[in-house]
Each structure stands twice: as structure tokens, then as C-alpha cells.
Amino acid sequence: MIDALVITHGDVGRELVRVVEMILGPVEGFTALTNSGKSVQDLTIEIRQHLTSPPDRGSGISLLFIDDFGGSCANAAQIAVAEGEPALIITGVNLAMLLDFVTWRDTMEAGELSRRLVEKGREAISVLSPGQED
């Protein structure tokens, strides 16, 4: 099983995890972390703790879902992973991506899964108003 940590500004990540579990039921190895009130160093420590102490990671790798590329959440995740922790970082998290993660995490390897999730996340973004796509 591949586990995941959703790292976001404010409580966005917790709400995304809550909604996924509302739709699919409880999900083991799927949690959220906020950057609220934390320095990049504090956030890095919390990410590192997650990566070094999950109960059963199976594949030995985690996916870190980040809300915004270049912000403190992404910076902290990059520092934690650069220090040798086994993880893949995916930015631009959205609900479609997380639902797909939970659905496919037990049947795909992490690299293939991460590519699928990026594509799923992109597919979920569209203009729905007719004539407004230009």
C-alpha cells in the first residue's frame, strides 16, 4: 500500500481528506497536514516524522500532495525528500486526484500512479460555461 500526506495552507488538506473519506469510507495511510502557524523548518520536521514512522507503508514510499508549487508546503516537502526520505511530491492537489489515488494505490507502483494522478488532476480542470473556454 502506498500512503499519502496532503500538505496544504490552512485546513484545505484536512477537508479534502474528509471529503474523500465521506465518499469512499475510512482510508488507512491517508492524512493531512497544515502549514498554519509553522515555519518551513517545523513543517519539514513534521513531514519527515510522517515519512519515517508510518505503521505499514508496504512499498516504502509515500506520495506527498501539495496545494501550491513554490509555497512553504512545497519547500518543506522538497527539503524532507532531499534529505533522503522516500517520497514523491505532487503539486496542485485536487479532489479528483485524491479519489483516484485511493482507488488505484494498491494496484500500481508509485511512479506509474503519480503520473496517472497528475493526468487525472489535469482532466478534472475545465471550463463548464458554454462559449467561455476562449
Residue pLDDT, tens place only, 45-97? 999 999 987 555 555 789 999 999 988 999 999 999 997 878 999 999 999 99
Q: Identify the pLDDT of residue 61.
A: 84
Q: Identify the pLDDT of residue 8.
A: 97
Assigned superfamily of 3-123: Phosphotransferase system, mannose-type IIA component (3.40.50.510)
**Phi, psi torsion values for 66, nearest 5 degrees:** -115, 145
- Return the percentage of the chain with pLDDT > 90, whole number: 79
The mean pLDDT of the chain is 91
Tens-digit pLDDT profile for residues 12-50? 999 999 999 999 999 999 999 999 999 999 999 999 999
Instruction: Return d(Cα 81, Cα 88) in angstroms, integer.
Output: 8
Query: Regarding beta strands 30-34 and 3-8, do their DSSP bridges make them parallel or antiparallel, or are they unpaired?
Result: parallel
Average pLDDT over residues 107-131: 92
Q: Three-state secondary structure along 35-60? A: CCCCCHHHHHHHHHHHHHCCCCCCCC
Where in the chain are the domains? 3-123
DSSP state letters, 95-123: HHHHHHHHHHTTTS-HHHHHHHHHHHHHH
Output the CA–CA distances (angstroms, integers) from residue 118 to 42, 65, 90, 97, 124, in the order listed. 28, 10, 7, 7, 10
Q: Identify the pLDDT of residue 59.
A: 56
Q: Identify the pLDDT of residue 85.
A: 74
Between 1 and 92, where is the model more confident? Answer: 92
Grid cell at residue 73: 508546503
